[in-house]
Amino acid sequence: MDGLNEVSLLGNLGAEPELRMATNGSGILTLSIATTRSWLDSDKKKQEATDWHRVKVWGRRGEGLAKILKKGDRVFVRGSLRYTEWEKDGVKKYGTEIVVSNVVLCGGKGGGGSSSRGRPEEEPEVTFEDEDPIPFEQPEEPKRTAPPAEQSRQAHRHDKLPRGKK
């Protein structure tokens, strides 16, 4: 294995999603996701801290999600870390972002189900042409056969098995 770069977050959108178009015409959706962690301090008092994460969703998926996501929505995202570097006013800046490979909508702020912020009853239909359709039937498992070298070893094992008396 070369390495593993995977991030999973469950949190709430802290700002309205921002959709920009790249020079090649592809959409780039930027999300600001807040995750909150809690612990008990030495006095047994509950403490909380919120971490903010910059998340990028590229392509048609980002364009589609821009139509339905709103500030406060709860989302689960999975992706990989990317480190960025740029220059602003002669000063080098550095940042960390998560490039998304999967997004799951988890409903309104802080809970499951649908959001209750006065949204229309019907959500707009969002389709992603670059993804495979979800199969309704499980495909048949391919028959597994041992590689030729293994088949040869198996054949020799059968020759060495003790045989019953006739």
Read off the pLDDT of residues 32-69 as tens digits, 9 standing for 90 and up: 999 999 999 999 999 999 999 999 999 999 999 999 99
Looking at the domain assignment, is residue 89 inside a domain?
yes
Evaluate if residue 160 carries a pLDDT over 80.
no
Give the alpha-carbon dihedral of 11, 60, 81, 1, to 10 degrees.
Answer: 120
Q: What is the CATH number of the domain that holds 32?
A: 2.40.50.140
The pair phi, psi for residue 65, each rounded to 5°, is -65, -30
Looking at the domain assignment, is residue 50 inside a domain?
yes
Radius of gyration of the chain measured on its C-alpha atoms? 25
What is residue 74's predicted lDDT score, i.e. its pLDDT?
96
Looking at the domain assignment, is residue 136 inside a domain?
no
Domain count for the chain, please give it.
1
What is residue 113's predicted lDDT score, i.e. its pLDDT?
41
Residue-number span of the structural domain to which 16 is assigned: 1-37+46-113
Looking at the domain assignment, is residue 51 inside a domain?
yes
Place of tokens 């189900």: 113
Query: In the chain, what percentage of residues exceed pLDDT 70?
Result: 64
Looking at the domain assignment, is residue 148 inside a domain?
no
User: The pTM is what?
Assistant: 0.61
Give the residue, 76 or 132, on which the prediction is more confident: 76
Looking at the domain assignment, is residue 153 inside a domain?
no
Looking at the domain assignment, is residue 133 inside a domain?
no
What is residue 2's predicted lDDT score, i.e. its pLDDT?
87
